[in-house]
Structure 1
Amino acid sequence: MEIREMKQQLVEVALSLYQRGLVVGSAGNMSVLLDDGTFLATPTGSSFGSLREGDVSHFTKEGTILCGKAPTKEVPFHLACY
């Protein structure tokens, strides 16, 4: 799956969680490990109710941001889980 499609799915899931009242404000973070070994994550301080594809952070395991906003400060936890 292309990065753009994964970003779109991440945004759709985030909005669904927000609309169902499962997250509020800027609580909660999501990330995705891509086939090429890079990651997508919700940006720091973002609301799942207003997240846009262009906001989604794309970064390497070393923390180099490839595009988007700065990722959640919880990235080390997410990387440890992967």
Structure 2
Amino acid sequence: MAKNPQIQAAYNRGKSEGYKLGLTHGRTEGQAAVALAIAGKLEQLPHVKGFGPKTLEKFIEYFGKEYFITKKDDKSNES
């Protein structure tokens, strides 16, 4: 503990703000990692045995078409 109360208060404030900033960054990094992991799993769905076009269409409808790139969409983006 510092002898000067103002220095100690500034130290405590900086420590608290740094902790909050670290939590925010950690949460953001964690959410990005989870999003990438889920995206990787979703990309593999068409290749899963027993997972046909009807089931895939149900997933696409449930999650939303904006999360999936179809072959038609992919070719139109390349032009």
Settle same-fold status: TM greater than 0.5. no
Instruction: Return the TM-score normalized by structure 2.
Output: 0.32
- Between Structure 1 and Structure 2, the one with more helix by share is 2
- Between Structure 1 and Structure 2, the one with more strand by share is 1
